[in-house]
Structure formats: structure tokens, C-alpha cells
Amino acid sequence: MTFTSRLRVIFRSKASHTLDRLEDPREALDDSYEQLVAMLQQVRRGLADVATAKKRLELQGQEMGARHRRLGDQAQEALTQGREDLARTALERRSLLEGQVASLRDQYTALQQQQERLQANERRLADRVAAFRTEKETIKATYAASEAQARANEAAAGIGSEMSDVGVTLDRAKDRVAQMKARAAATDELLASGALNDLTAPPDDDLERQLSSGATRADVERQLQAMKDAAAGGTPSGSTGGATGATAGGTAGGAAGNGPDGWLSIGRGPAAG
């Protein structure tokens, strides 16, 4: 795999992870829940504003009611004192005040009805927010469990983007190992043939290596010939001693003794008589 191909695989993997996070339904549910909570807070603020305005009208109506009673008392007191003109003035002001109270009462009634509607909306929205929160957490838990199960199944089956990356990395490592083994074997052959010089070897080491190889081949040929002579079993009487000696030498050189220290005799010739 080339460097560009590796970069392409890495980029696709990172981009896929980023898109998965952006498309995570859990985040979408959290966003929707936050929007509902913001709407509920807005309704509650409106309800508080309406209740405040209603309270102000209520206080103003109480003041008007107190003035209305005071004007009635003043009109009665003026008649008692024989001041009909003052009584008339007090009654005229009380009549004007009654019109203002009627208008204020209409506003107060409208605010009271608006407050009742906002309270009903607030209760419904609060119930909806609570139900959505429960459903949201249930969906998120189900999604998390399903995601974990899917990842476990993908890992067990060897599929999925993560396992694909692992597979690519493993194949690349195997290629590198095979390439290095081939290079090591090739350089060994070149050193053995003398095409490459081992700078760390002592002088004339190539000659020693070739002589040792020749001696090994000669020893193998002698043991092979001894095994052939022993298998033939029909050697002439004049050469019986030589064949026996060759067979004994091959046996001594190719097999170990039966004792626990028999391995010490591997590759050694027959003991001197």
C-alpha cells in the first residue's frame, strides 16, 4: 500500500467517525429536549409577567375601591352639614370613578383569563417535557446498548471500520516482514557466494568458509557411501574390514550413545582402541 493510499484510508476513517458523531441521535434528542425546556421557561416567564400585571391592577382596584367608599362618606357628610353642592361634587366624582373601575375590572378579568390559559399551557408543556425526558433517556440507553452490541459483533466478525484498519495494518506488517526475510536470505546467499564482502569478518574468512563447506560435503559423501555399503550386505571378503570400519565410523559419526551423556558422542569418530 502506497503512502497516498494509507492517507486516504486514514482520512476516510476519521471522516466517518466525525459524521457518526454529528449524526448521533442522542445529541439530536438532547437538543430537542433543551428546546422544549427553553419553551417551558419562556411560558413561565410570560406567566410571571401576566401575574405581575394582574397584581398591579388588583392593587389599583383596591385603591379605587377605598376612594369610592371615601367619596360616598364625604357626600353623606356634606348632606348632613347642609352642603348639597359638596355632596353633588362627591357623587359626580364617585360616578366618574365607577366608570374607571369598570374599565379596570375588564382589564383585570382579561388578565385573569390569560393567566389561566398560560397556567394550563404551562402544565401541559411541563408534562410533555417530563415525558420527553423519560422517553429520551430510554432511547439513548437503547441506542447505547445497541451500539455496544453492534461494535462487539463487528469485532467478533472482523468487520467495521476499526477492524478494517487493523486488517490493513496487519497485512502491511506481514508484507514488511516477508520483504525483510527475503532481503536477509538474499544477503546471506550473497555473502556465502562471495558476491558481498563481510567487513566484520577476519581476513581470508571466505577461504575458510569454502574449505569448511567442502569438508562437510566430503564427510556427508563418506557417510552416505558407508550406509550404501551396509545396505548392500554383499561386500567381498577382502574388503570386509574396510566396510566394517566405514560402517562403524558412519554409525559413530551419525548416532549418539544410549546413555544420558550419549549426546557428547554426536559427530565424533570411533574411540581409539
Single out the residue in 106, 141, 157 at which a domain terminates.
Answer: 157
Q: Report which residue type is found at 153.
A: N
Q: Check whether 248 has a pLDDT greater than 60.
A: no
Identify the pLDDT of residue 112. Answer: 93
Mean pLDDT lowest for which of 79-88, 115-124, 249-258? Answer: 249-258
108 and 33 Cβ atoms separated by less than 8 Å: no
pLDDT tens readout for residues 138-182: 988 888 888 888 777 777 776 655 556 666 777 778 888 888 888
Question: Which helix (H) or strand (E) is 195 found in, with range?
Answer: none
Indicate if the pLDDT at residue 18 is higher than 80. no
Classify residue 82 as left (phi > 0), alpha (psi -120 to 50) or beta.
left
User: Which one of 135, 170, 196 terminates a domain?
Assistant: 196
Whether 48 is in a domain gets the answer yes
Task: Dig out the grid coordinates for 137 from the structure.
Answer: 433517556
Same domain, 31 and 143: yes
Tell me what pLDDT residue 268 has.
64
> What pLDDT score was predicted for residue 101?
92
pLDDT at 237: 45
pLDDT the model gives residue 167: 65
Its pTM surpasses 0.85:
no
Domain residues for the domain of 133 are 3-157
Q: Of 147, 177, 196, which one is at a domain's C-terminal end? A: 196
Residues 137 and 188 both lie in one domain: no
The answer to which of 28-42, 221-235, 258-272 has the lowest mean pLDDT is: 258-272
249 — pLDDT class (breaks 50, 70, 90): very low
Tell me the residue type at 239: S
| Residue 116: burial class (beta carbons within 10 Å; 0-12, 13-18, 19+) | exposed
Do 145 and 96 lie in one domain? The reply is: yes
**pLDDT at residue 212 is higher than 80:** no
The Cα–Cα gap between 13 and 8 comes to 9
Average pLDDT, integer, range 238-249: 45
Check pLDDT > 90 for residue 10.
no
Do the domain assignments include residue 126?
yes
In a domain, 114, yes or no: yes
Alpha-carbon separation of residue 143 from 32, 109, 118, 228, 245 (angstroms): 17, 50, 36, 77, 84
Indicate whether 143 and 190 sit together in one domain. no
- 38 and 171 in one domain? no
- Hey, what's the torsion of the CAs at 34, 35, 40, 45, to 10 degrees? 100
Specify the higher pLDDT residue, 6 or 48.
48
Does 253 score more than 50 pLDDT? no
Would residue 14 count as lying in a domain?
Answer: yes
Half-sphere exposure of 40 (CA within 13 A, CB side): 16
Question: Is the separation of the CB atoms in 56 and 115 below 8 Å?
Answer: no
Q: What are the tens digits of pLDDT across the range 190-207?
A: 766 666 665 565 665 666
What whole-number distance in Å separates Cα of residue 124 and Cα of residue 118? 10
Asked whether residue 71 falls in the same domain as residue 124, the answer is: yes
Least confident of 14-18, 63-67, 112-116, 199-203: 14-18
First to last CA, the chain: 67
pLDDT of residue 114: 93
Question: Is residue 87 domain-shared with residue 54, that is, in the same domain?
Answer: yes
Residue 271 lies in a domain: no
Q: Comparing C-alpha atoms, which of 70, 108, 75, 67 is closest to residue 91?
A: 75
pLDDT in tens, 23-61: 678 888 888 899 999 999 999 999 999 999 999 999 999
The per-residue DSSP string of 75-110 comes to: HHHHHHTT-HHHHHHHHHHHHHHHHHHHHHHHHHHH
On whether both 189 and 94 belong to a single domain, the answer is no
**CA–CA separation, 109 and 94 (whole Å):** 22
Task: Yes or no: say if 60 and 104 are a contact pair by the CB < 8 Å rule.
Answer: yes
Confidence band for 106, pLDDT divided at 50, 70 and 90: very high
Residues 12 and 127 in one domain: yes
Alpha helices by DSSP H, listed for the chain, are 3-22, 25-80, 84-157, 161-193, 205-232, 240-254
pLDDT band at 215 (very low <50, low <70, confident <90, very high): confident
The C-alpha cell at 28 is 439530536
